[in-house]
Amino acid sequence: MKNEYIPKLAKIVSIKEEVDGQRAIKTFRTHFINNEDFSHKCGQCAMLSVFGKGESMISVSSSPLINDYLQFSILKTGRVTTALHEMGTGDVIGIRGPYGNGFPIEDWKGKNLIFIGGGIGLAPLWSIVQTAITKKEEYKELLLIYGSRTSKDLVYKEELEELKKKMTIHLSVDNEEPDWKEFVGFVPNNVMDKKPSPENAIAVTCGPPVMIKFVIKALNDLGFRDDQIYTTVENKMKCGIGKCGRCNIGSHYICKEGPVYSWAKLKTLPQEY
Amino acid sequence: MQNILLKKNFSSWLKQLNSYKVYAPVKTGEVWSYELIEKPENINLDYPNTIIPPKKVLFPQREVLLEFESSSVQEMKLKEVIPEETPSVIFGIRSCDARGLAKLEKIFKGGFEDIYFLKRNRHTVLVGLACETPPSPDCFCTSVDGSPYSKEGLDLLMTDMGDRYHVESITKEGEKLLEAGIGLFNDPEETVKEELERIHRESEKKIKRHIKDIDKISSKLPEIFETEFWDKESLSCIRCGICTYSCPVCHCFDINDEVICTFPLKGKRVRTWDNCQFPDFTMHSSGHNPRSDKASRLRQRIMHKFNYFNENCMELLCTGCGRCISKCPVGIDIVEVLEKVRVYEK
């Protein structure tokens, strides 16, 4: 019998400061110390351990096509994420997983993919964006609509600049800023402004709950059916394997049956997230 | 099958089980609880029911999952802490609690396996004791697919017949315990079967609490999810959590790191029972809380037991032991709540 609760040890191989200040975000890349098998799907999560502090469920932001490292972009919020932010290159953490269902990207071949993210919500989307770009021939048009409170709160700034050469990206900030040439306003407003077509398309959105709510409304208004809209849900988790009893929405444990849901499915479940 | 044991031979049988760790109810002050027994010959099965169900033997209130140690941040040693694989036997389990353990096994086995529970479970033989009379005035096992003499989850079922026990073997593991007591068991007299049926039938009749139309209630629950019903029912809750700690099937837990020394770092990762009635149970680190009020937490407890689990496993997550009713300091009564659900009109 495999012991699911024992994490595999990994070293932090690089740390990038994405955002500083009160709502700091860092991107960590890790290497397993022993050659561990960790084949994840886009949108799956991992339970990260800082020994002495505890565990926290974080989405894997690197593409499954990358074998060299696992990447996690982490907002400094609670006990474990704060401890992670204090760690340095070479430090050891624990990783167990992967957990959750992941995005059904196999079903999305031949479709236009529209990614809509807000703030740290770009992290779970990033693994599909990277995968779709690498396998561009399998999909039609790729579009990313991404925004944050201020330009300083955007993650993956340099990577986004690079990515603009390969796909259409529309950025936004909530309020006017000097030198900001792109959209000003909330993400759902940017969606209404850019009016992506629902024709042969899948829209995937991730971000703060209130943003998701209005993005879904905007997409519905643009003619997207509920089964064309996907999002991820998060709740507090301890075990990651459907036993500890706290991440459920109705009869679903998000750690197992989630975190990815089509809006068609999610709207039938209690709104306890 | 020789399965009649004179009560005066009970302690001799227990002496034969010296290769097992034996757990049984022990009275401390006014309450009974399952404890590891040093001298099995002293077990007294003349008891109502324990304050905490026997789940605590297989799923301890606090258990170490692993130990970690490191002399620098750049290295870490982990030690998996696995339960000992000593054959154990739990004596005197009431049928409701045995069914509770069977449900816990489903939960800990389904999907990812929980080896801490399953290893203990695999090495533990469960000996039940049928209820001649309901151990509590709040018992309602017959309303939730159970009975005072249900064999579900058990290896042996004992029934008190005055000066002797009828001991029914249910599994091979149970059979082995009977074999260990060879020479102590007698053949049943012809009248035993009839007598046994009478005892079981009588005990069922003595149960006072009943839930009408449990299936209808189960499927009606989602309809009243978004109503003020839950606000009213949860008003008196003081979120003490005794309802779930004393429940034979509640299995929610927390995992935390306990640090013994910060440098060099040394500590343990510990699992402890947790409780869906606590406000911070579902609180995100951002402060957002999907079940922030008492109403949504009581609703979760009822929905989980009578609807969600039913949806996932086709059975109820309640065995009718009545502990949550007897122990609740403010009188929240699950049988009454369900009756109110049954008659509720929006």
How far A135 CA sits from the closest chain B CA (Å)?
A: 32
Q: What span, in angstroms and rounded, lies between the C-alpha atoms of B139 and B321?
A: 5
Question: How large is the average pLDDT for residues B258-262?
Answer: 95
Q: What is the CATH number of the domain that holds A56?
A: 2.40.30.10
Burial class (CB in 10 A: 0-12, 13-18, 19+), A175: exposed
Indicate whether B61 and B164 sit together in one domain. yes
Residues whose CB is less than 8 angstroms from the CB of residue B16 and which lie 6 or more positions away in sequence, other chains included = B180, B181, B184
Tell me the count of A-B CB pairs closer than 8 A.
Answer: 127
Tell which of B205, B234, B259 closes a domain. B205
Q: How many domains does chain B have?
A: 2
In a domain, A217, yes or no: yes
Cα B53 to Cα A77, A111, B94, B321, B324, distances in angstroms: 38, 55, 9, 9, 11
How far A76 CA sits from the closest chain B CA (Å)?
A: 10
B78 touches chain A (CB under 8 A): yes
Which residue in B167, B164, B150, B161 sits closest to B195, CA to CA? B161
Which residues does chain A have within 8 Å of residue B271's beta carbon, measured at their own beta carbons?
5
Indicate whether B111 and B129 sit together in one domain. yes
Indicate whether B229 and B194 sit together in one domain. no
Indicate whether A116 and A71 sit together in one domain. no
Q: What is the pLDDT of residue B61?
A: 97
Which tens digits make up the pLDDT trace of A217-246?
Answer: 999 999 999 999 999 999 999 999 999 999
Indicate whether B70 and B102 sit together in one domain. yes
Contact check, Cβ <8 Å, A235/B267:
no
Side chain identity, residue B210: H
Contact check, Cβ <8 Å, A54/B257:
yes
Alpha helix locations (H) across chain B? 10-16, 55-58, 95-109, 115-122, 172-180, 192-205, 214-220, 229-234, 242-245, 294-303, 309-313, 323-327, 334-343
Residue B128: band (very low, low, confident or very high) from pLDDT cuts 50, 70, 90: very high
Indicate whether A159 and A227 sit together in one domain. yes
Indicate whether A110 and A93 sit together in one domain. no
Residue B272 has pLDDT above 90, yes or no: yes
Indicate whether B17 and B153 sit together in one domain. yes
Residue B115 has pLDDT above 90, yes or no: yes
How far B138 CA sits from the closest chain A CA (Å)?
A: 26
A178 cis-preceded (ω within 30 degrees of 0)? no
Q: What span, in angstroms and rounded, lies between the C-alpha atoms of B3 and A134?
A: 70
Q: What element of type H or E holds B6?
A: strand B4-6
Indicate whether A116 and A138 sit together in one domain. yes
Compute the C-alpha angle A49/A6/B107, nearest 5°: 110
Indicate whether A82 and A121 sit together in one domain. no
Residue B327: band (very low, low, confident or very high) from pLDDT cuts 50, 70, 90: very high
Residue A22 has pLDDT above 80, yes or no: yes
Q: What is the pLDDT of residue B202?
A: 94
Q: Which of B254, B257, B308 sits opposite A53 (nearest CB)?
A: B257
Which residues does chain B have within 8 Å of residue A82's beta carbon, measured at their own beta carbons?
none
Q: What is the CATH number of the domain that holds A167?
A: 3.40.50.80
Only one residue has tokens 């690197």, namely A62
Indicate whether B22 and B95 sit together in one domain. yes
Residue B39: band (very low, low, confident or very high) from pLDDT cuts 50, 70, 90: confident
Q: Which of B65, B74, B290 sits opposite A92 (nearest CB)?
A: B74
Average pLDDT of chain A to the nearest whole number: 96
Side chain identity, residue A111: K
Q: What is the pLDDT of residue A209?
A: 87
Which residues does chain A have within 8 Å of residue B115's beta carbon, measured at their own beta carbons?
1-4
Domain that holds residue A35: 8-99
In a domain, A264, yes or no: no
Q: What is the pLDDT of residue B28?
A: 87
What is the Cα B296 distance to its own chain's centre?
Answer: 24
Indicate whether A47 and A141 sit together in one domain. no
Q: Are A260 and A42 in contact (CB under 8 A)?
A: no
Indicate whether B58 and B192 sit together in one domain. yes
Which residues does chain B have within 8 Å of residue A255's beta carbon, measured at their own beta carbons?
none
For the record, the structure tokens of B160 come out as 């008190």
B282 touches chain A (CB under 8 A): yes
Q: What is the pLDDT of residue B170?
A: 96
Tell which of B205, B239, B265 closes a domain. B205
Which tens digits make up the pLDDT trace of A173-229?
Answer: 999 999 999 999 999 999 999 999 999 999 999 999 899 999 999 999 999 999 999
Tell which of A99, A123, A141 closes a domain. A99
For the record, the structure tokens of B137 come out as 């005035």
Q: Residue B144 phi/psi, 5° resolution?
A: -125, 45
Which of B64, B66, B258 to probe the A interface (max A CBs under 10 A)?
B66
Which residues does chain A have within 8 Å of residue B76's beta carbon, measured at their own beta carbons?
9, 51, 92, 94
Complete DSSP assignment for B18-75: TTSEEEEEEEETTEEEEEE-S-GGG--------SS-THHHHS-SEEEEEEEEESSTT-
In a domain, A182, yes or no: yes
DSSP A33: S
Indicate whether B183 and B236 sit together in one domain. no
For the record, the structure tokens of B27 come out as 């009275």
Indicate whether B54 and B124 sit together in one domain. yes
Indicate whether B228 and B298 sit together in one domain. yes
Indicate whether A72 and A171 sit together in one domain. no
Residue B56: band (very low, low, confident or very high) from pLDDT cuts 50, 70, 90: very high
Indicate whether B192 and B231 sit together in one domain. no
Which residue in B18, B19, B32 sits closest to B323, CA to CA? B32
Q: Which residue of A has its CA nearest to B302?
A: A250
Indicate whether A16 and A56 sit together in one domain. yes
Contact check, Cβ <8 Å, A81/B285:
yes
Q: How many domains does chain A have?
A: 2
Question: How large is the average pLDDT for residues B152-173?
Answer: 96
Q: Which residue of A has its CA nearest to B284?
A: A236
Domain that holds residue B265: 214-343
Which residues does chain A have within 8 Å of residue B85's beta carbon, measured at their own beta carbons?
none
Indicate whether B149 and B39 sit together in one domain. yes
Which stretches does DSSP call E strand in chain A? 8-19, 25-32, 45-50, 54-59, 70-75, 92-99, 112-118, 142-148, 168-173, 183-184, 201-206, 229-232, 248-249, 252-253, 260-262
Contact check, Cβ <8 Å, A94/B78:
yes
Any idea of the CA torsion for A79, A80, A85, A86, to the nearest 10 degrees? Answer: 80
In a domain, A1, yes or no: no
In a domain, A71, yes or no: yes
In a domain, A273, yes or no: no
Residue B41 has pLDDT above 80, yes or no: no
Residue B44: band (very low, low, confident or very high) from pLDDT cuts 50, 70, 90: confident
Q: What is the pLDDT of residue B73?
A: 75
Indicate whether A152 and A89 sit together in one domain. no
Indicate whether A44 and A89 sit together in one domain. yes
Question: How large is the average pLDDT for residues A17-22?
Answer: 94
B252 touches chain A (CB under 8 A): yes
Question: How large is the average pLDDT for residues B264-288?
Answer: 96
How far A109 CA sits from the closest chain B CA (Å)?
A: 29
Which of B70, B79, B116, B257 to probe the A interface (max A CBs under 10 A)?
B257
In a domain, A94, yes or no: yes
Q: Which residue of B has its CA nearest to A53?
A: B257
Which tens digits make up the pLDDT trace of B69-99?
Answer: 998 878 899 999 999 889 999 999 999 999 9
In a domain, A195, yes or no: yes
Which residues does chain A have within 8 Å of residue B282's beta carbon, measured at their own beta carbons?
235-236, 246-247, 272
Indicate whether A73 and A109 sit together in one domain. no
